[in-house]
Amino acid sequence: MSLRLPAFAAFAFVLFVTPLRAQPFTFSSVKPVSLNELEYGQVVFFDFNRDGMLDLLATGNSANLPPFVPRAYVALSQGAFNFADGSEGLVFSERALGQGLWQSSLVVADFDLDGYVDVVVSGRIHNAANFETRPLEGITHVYRGSASGSFAPVSSELLGIYGGSVSTADIDGDGDEDLFITGLRTQEEIAAALYRNNDGTFETIPLPFEPLAMGDAEWADIDNDGDLDLALSGVTENGVPKTKVYRNDGLGNFTEDRVNIPGLLFSAMDWGDYDNDGDLDLALSGARYHRTKYFEPVVQVWRNQSGQLSNSGIEIPAVLDGDVAWGDYDSDGGLDLLVVGSTDVRSGRSGRLYRNEEGNLVPRIAVPGVAASNAVWGDYDGDNDLDLVVTGSSVNINPLMRLYRNDSRAVNKVPVAPSGLEAHEDDGVVTLDWQAGADEETPAAALNYNIRIGTAAGTDNVMPAYSDLSTGRRLYPTRGNAGIQTSWRLQSLPAGDYFWSVQAIDQSFVASSWSEEGSFTVSAGGGKLTSVENVVPRSTILDVGYPNPFNERVTIPFSLDAPSTVEISVYNVLGSLVKRLVNDSLEPGNHQVQWTGTDERNMPVAPGLYMVRMNAGAAHHVQHLTLIR
């Protein structure tokens, strides 16, 4: 879930620190003063202005009774402050983000690859005091980031939802992050949309997932095959709770996994390797229907063994309408689990941190029980251990935000960077391999990895890393973009030279320095060629490209009824060759190739009319394309 607020008034707030003890570790509760506390929303740690201190991005409702007050703000950290009485606080500068939304979800990503993180946020503005004059419907906004940590709204036609999830993943393997939105479009309609990211603009593509609301969507490479899969939970338009897992074949094609995870609504999920076996496991919470209680809360951990999920049987007191979050708070190399939420549909609340003791999750530290909640880990004070922020609705039905500083004396050392980088390119598919990093606390099998790729040395304008490009320090305290395995695969990269590096990240999201930089070249001569079916067509044809007209990328389907030497090229209206897309011997079947509007030197061509010509044996075909800018 997530939330947000109005546009660019700034003020400062101070966070006072009061001790809260729990053995064997101590956390200090940092109570916000003058900061709007939130429920029904989301909070994110990110160093937006890259000053070495984690900032906050938060959205949600800040009023406990109607009319509700939706908000969204960026809070830039200004550092510690010592008061006259000897107490310590944190000073932030708060800036409103834009239109306030609640029952909302947000995501941060550098969509346009300019080096500054952007924000997509969905939710609703309805404040429960004007049902007759303002219908309940979802809204989605996009904001572009800048070097100062400020954000500017940009126009978009993205699906508007509330009570759902907004998430990102590079589903097509081209290095940039695509966008998935699912939730309530109106009170009567649940909708979803999947968007391909084309240089910062979003192109709608066919939806392979069932639309669900009041749930969660979490991406991870669960089968360690170098692409991102999806866990999706929530309720259907017919009121049926579902939890689904979809496997990615590496080309952006998804197949539903027949795993019997209970269907949940008011749900939350998180992937993490709690048993340190090199596979990402799934924690989830939520509600299922019950004959007498109507809703029954659920918390389960599903163990991943070589890509196969099964219920671990770990018993954890159940919650719904809350959050689950993996993080190694005691720096011993094992993932611990935070569980917060409601114990029933009334006023019951629960919050507990479970310590991982040799694979057993043991309750150790109490945190505020909050419903309509969100919880995230992050090292805001830079001491290499995980601190915590929690938002939600308290037992008194008041919005709440609490920041907890981890005062553990355990020393978490920085991992050792990976080595032995190798890159291989085969017909446009690039495979990156490296030797594992090392860490004194996290076992090698449980380390995860983060890749940066750019078109010049030391850059990440192809695959963003969300780490400092010099030191490797994480700007965004999450798992790395390559997951646990020591290999990654990309495709559809334009021809040219690329530079890359990789870092190791431990279970506390502490990152190593960057490895020595490697490089690779994607050869000129075409777009990415893929086979889309195994059925042998009855004839050889060149289909019309789509979309047409296009402005960033066009897909050109073609079919072969027999093995053929195929040449597909693009020509301008004067008949001059612009780009050769295919020049290869291919098997019979249905194929497709993409053109990104560039010439043989990989330079953008002028808008206008172009011809696509295919020669395949005795067959000759021509189609027309219109490029717009």
Phi–psi pair at 444, nearest 5 degrees: -55, -40
- pLDDT tens, residue by residue, 421-464: 999 887 778 999 999 999 999 999 999 999 999 999 999 999 99
- pLDDT tens, residue by residue, 581-605: 998 888 888 888 999 898 877 788 9
My answer on whether 235 and 178 are in the same domain is no
My answer on whether 509 and 564 are in the same domain is no
My answer on whether 394 and 428 are in the same domain is no
pTM: 0.80
pLDDT of residue 617: 87
The answer to whether residue 199 is domain-embedded is yes
Residue 569 burial (CB count, 10 A)? 18
My answer on whether 340 and 436 are in the same domain is no
85: left (phi over 0), alpha (psi -120 to 50) or beta: alpha
Mean pLDDT of all residues in 356-368: 93
Q: Domain ends where: 207, 228, 246?
A: 207
My answer on whether 404 and 429 are in the same domain is no
My answer on whether 234 and 365 are in the same domain is yes
Q: How many domains, in total, are found in the chain?
A: 4
- pLDDT tens, residue by residue, 303-320: 999 999 999 999 999 999
The answer to whether residue 8 is domain-embedded is no
The answer to whether residue 296 is domain-embedded is yes
- pLDDT tens, residue by residue, 491-541: 878 888 999 999 999 999 999 999 999 999 987 644 555 555 456 777 899
Above 50 in pLDDT, residue 237?
A: yes
Mean pLDDT of all residues in 119-125: 95
Cβ-based burial of 449 (10 A; exposed 0-12, middle 13-18, buried ≥19): buried
Assign 32 a pLDDT band (cuts: 50, 70, 90).
Answer: low
pLDDT of residue 346: 72
User: Residue 498 maps to which CATH number?
Assistant: 2.60.40.10
pLDDT of residue 130: 53
| Cβ atoms of 119 and 72 closer than 8 Å | no
pLDDT above 70 coverage of the chain, percent: 89
Structural domain harbouring 236:
212-412
The answer to whether residue 122 is domain-embedded is yes
User: Residue 161 maps to which CATH number?
Assistant: 2.130.10.130
Mean pLDDT of all residues in 536-558: 87
Mean pLDDT of all residues in 319-342: 96
User: Residue 571 maps to which CATH number?
Assistant: 2.60.40.4070
The answer to whether residue 502 is domain-embedded is yes
- Round the average pLDDT of the chain to a whole number and report it: 88
Question: Of the candidates 404, 385, 400, which has an alpha carbon nearest to the alpha carbon of residue 477?
Answer: 385
Q: CA separation (Å) from 236 to 160, 241, 244, 362, 517?
A: 17, 6, 12, 34, 47
The answer to whether residue 87 is domain-embedded is yes
Strand positions, DSSP E, 528-627: 529-533, 541-542, 554-560, 564-571, 577-586, 589-595, 608-616, 619-627
Above 90 in pLDDT, residue 354?
A: yes
Above 80 in pLDDT, residue 276?
A: yes
**Residue 157: CB partners within 8 Å, gap ≥ 6?**
none
Q: How far is CA 52 from the centre of its chain?
A: 22
**Residue 240: CB partners within 8 Å, gap ≥ 6?**
263
Q: Domain ends where: 207, 236, 260?
A: 207
- pLDDT tens, residue by residue, 364-389: 999 989 999 999 999 988 899 999 99
My answer on whether 104 and 188 are in the same domain is yes
My answer on whether 180 and 219 are in the same domain is no
My answer on whether 428 and 393 are in the same domain is no
pLDDT of residue 535: 60
pLDDT above 90 coverage of the chain, percent: 63
My answer on whether 270 and 404 are in the same domain is yes
Q: Domain ends where: 362, 386, 412?
A: 412
- Amino acid (1-letter code) at residue 164: G
My answer on whether 584 and 612 are in the same domain is yes
The answer to whether residue 107 is domain-embedded is yes
Phi–psi pair at 374, nearest 5 degrees: -145, 140
My answer on whether 47 and 132 are in the same domain is yes
- pLDDT tens, residue by residue, 127-140: 665 544 556 889 99
- pLDDT tens, residue by residue, 167-199: 999 998 889 999 999 999 998 899 999 999 988
**Concatenated DSSP letters of 481-521:** TTBSSSEEEE--PPSEEEEEEEEEE-TT--B-PPPPPEEEE
Above 50 in pLDDT, residue 14?
A: no
Question: Of the candidates 280, 304, 159, 142, which has an alpha carbon nearest to the alpha carbon of residue 219?
Answer: 280
The answer to whether residue 561 is domain-embedded is yes
pLDDT of residue 190: 97
pLDDT of residue 216: 98
pLDDT of residue 148: 82
